[in-house]
Structure 1
Amino acid sequence: MSITKTNPVPPSWKDFAKASSDLLGKDYPIQGTTLEVKTQAPNGVTFKVLGIRDTKSGNINGDLEAKFTDRKNGFALTQAWSTANVLRNHVELENHIAKGLKLELISSLLPDKQAKNALFASTYKQPGVHTRQHLDLFKGPTFTADAVVGKDGFLAGAEAAYDVKGGKVSRYNLAAGYQAPEYAITLQGLGNLSTYSASYYHRVNADIEAGARATYDSKSATADNRVNLEVGTKTYLDDAAFVKAKINSAGIFCLGYTQALRPGVKASLGLALDTAKLASAENSAVAHKVGASLNFEA
């Protein structure tokens, strides 16, 4: 008897280089102080309160979100309200018309300025293919579609946006890559193929991860800024703590430390240093950044 090997569902377009992006971008709370609290009611409704104090401006912004999920019937409703007086609604229907098909309606309203936005979105995923489409009703309107196909670890993806009113393609991007359990390599052509990004992720062992990303921007005003290189690593100290570090070709060194204080409570500290200005006291507040985040989940 022969056994047919089924390809897994590939990542979506936005998660094409997720492993390296998370390694180099997450757990560095250097922009300010963040407090996030998540709780769940007995009826399954989850609440999330997020507060952020920006170090540069000193402004404090908040967000209150409630989400009801009916997993049995594939339905979810999310409503949120921010201190900027933005009201957001998100309705999700999954596996109703076809297995693997998800339909979404995402809307936002700013009453003070009578500004509104609405997106109709759909996602379809099956072994070997992952596609997304959305129609922005008030911006354009613009129709955007992307697709990622995968087989035996090899990935290929594309994204395009079409301006319905203007009758033209307003954006297009391409990507290719390879994913394995311990490492991933991706190459992306973004900004109508004016910017190219190559990334690499490697899980060295159970305690150490490493990654790098190189970006070439052909439209940069100066030749010195056209190429940017960033390398980083993550090391688990134990089951409850890890340290992350990264540095880029501009000389910005970042350090992050995350500690699980107890189940459901996590604290992170972040530090960013401009190594080119370590000896200069002038503009040190701008060159160097410190931040922290505290997360509660119950």
Structure 2
Amino acid sequence: MSLPQPVPPSWKDLGKSSNDLLGKDYHFHGTSLEVKTATPSNVTFKVDGSRDSKNSFVAGNLEGKYTDKAHGLTFTQAWSTSNALRTQIELENQIAKGLKLDTTTILHPEKSAKSVLLNAAYKQPGLHSRAVLDVFKGPTFTADTVLGRDGFLVGAEASYNVTEGRVTKYSAAVGFSAPEYAVTLHSLSNFSTFAASYYHRVSPDVEAGAKAVYDVKATSPGVALEVGTKAYLDSAAFVKAKINNSGVLALGYTQALRPGVKASFGLALDTQRLNEAGHAGPAHKVGAQFVFEA
């Protein structure tokens, strides 16, 4: 007899364990600062800024969010240094249990550009489905669904251009997820890109994962491979390391300095150029991130 089925991950979260292991906490593209605060009236503020080490460009974002948990309502307003205004309104579990609706608008006053996204997500045991309508781009309707049973996952995504009257994109994926490990296979971009990811929680303190990507249309032949690991030093610190088949080694270290204060440092090295005297090419990168949360 099968156990009660949990809600499967959404399409974008298939392979999330491996993607997070290989993609998060590697802050080597510059320096960034993030400050989060909350008020007793369910309003949170977030200010973040970053300086790109490659072009010294500084970008920032100011965000305010109000949450009314009793009515399932969330209102978010954000303003970036590129003068982009983003407004998001979310309503969850009000019309039907498991149904979430949200509207996102982005306005660029200087460019006279705007976008409106209408989103819907429906979650039930064994089912996670989403739909997005991009009002001004196309309009384009995108839908995806993930089915799950006994750890096995099957998902698909498709985009339809309403004006052109044709399917512009389609993808599919299968996977298996267990508490200690997960395997996911993707066929993306109209079945022209294939990806396989693997995640394994070796012990409570050690995680490992790998990802392989093959692009049929890529100019360089072969499979792009990346492997990585994460190890907790104690309850307040962990280190991460990964390397790809191009010889780029990335290292990350994250330390909780005190409750609400976290510092992360990253380093990327091109191991094929370590013996070149005085080399400081673009493949060698270093960076840091500081997060303050109250």
Question: What interval of TM-score do these two structures reach, taking the shorter chain for normalisation?
Answer: over 0.9
- Please say if residues 66 and 75 of structure 2, whose CA atoms lie closer than 8 Å, have aligned partners that are also in contact: yes
Moved over 6 A (4+): none
Matches within 5 A, 1:33-182: 33-182=31-180
Q: 2:3, 2:150 within 8 Å by CA — same for their partners in 1?
A: no
Partner of 1:248: 244
Q: Does 1:228 align with 2:218?
A: no
Q: Give the Cα–Cα distance (whole angstroms) in 2 for the partners of residues 291 and 83 of structure 1.
A: 21
**In 2: Cα distance, 1:101 partner to 1:146 partner:** 15
Q: Distance in 2 between matches of 1:285 and 1:193?
A: 35
1:285 Cα offset (Å): 3.5
Alpha-carbon contact 2:147-2:153 (below 8 Å) kept: yes
2:241 is the alignment partner of 1:261: no
The verdict on how the C-alpha distance between 1:4 and 1:248 changes in structure 2, with shifts beyond 3 A counting, is closer
Partner SS, residue 59 of structure 2: strand
1:6 CA displacement? 1.3
Secondary structure at the counterpart of residue 276 of structure 1: helix
Query: How far apart are residue 279 of structure 1 and its match?
Result: 1.7
Would you say the 8 A contact 1:256–1:270 is kept in 2?
yes
Stretches of structure 2 that go unaligned for 5 or more consecutive residues are none
Structure 1 gap segments, 5+ residues each: none
The answer to whether the 8 A contact 1:273-1:287 is kept is yes
Per the alignment, residue 194 of structure 1 pairs with 192
Does 2:269 match 1:270? no
- Give the corresponding residue for 1:293: 289
Separation of aligned partners in 1, 2:191 and 2:279: 36
CA contact (8 A) 1:51 1:60 kept: yes
Superposed CA deviations along residues 127-181 of structure 1, whole A, max 9, x for unmatched, are 0000000100010110000000000000000000001111110000000000000
1:18 to 16, 19, 24: 16
Q: What CA distance in whole angstroms lies between the structure 2 residues aligned with 1:285 and 1:222?
A: 22
Matches of 1:19 and 1:94 in 2, distance apart?
Answer: 25
Distance 1:20 1:14 in 2: 13
> In structure 2, what is the Cα distance between the partners aligned to 1:62 and 1:287?
25
CA distance in 1 between counterparts of 2:110 and 2:278 reads 41
Q: Given the two structures, how large is their TM-score scaled by the length of structure 2?
A: 0.98
Identity %: 61
Letter matched to residue 40 of structure 2: P
Residues 173-195 of structure 1 show CA distances to partners (whole Å, capped at 9, x for unaligned) of 00000000000000000111101
Deviation string for 1:8-49 (max 9, x for gaps)?
Answer: 000000000100000000000011101000000121100000
RMSD over aligned Cα, in angstroms?
Answer: 1.1
Contact 1:44 1:68 in 2 (8 A): yes
Deviation of 1:222 after TM superposition, in Å, equals 2.5
2:282 alignment partner, SS class: helix
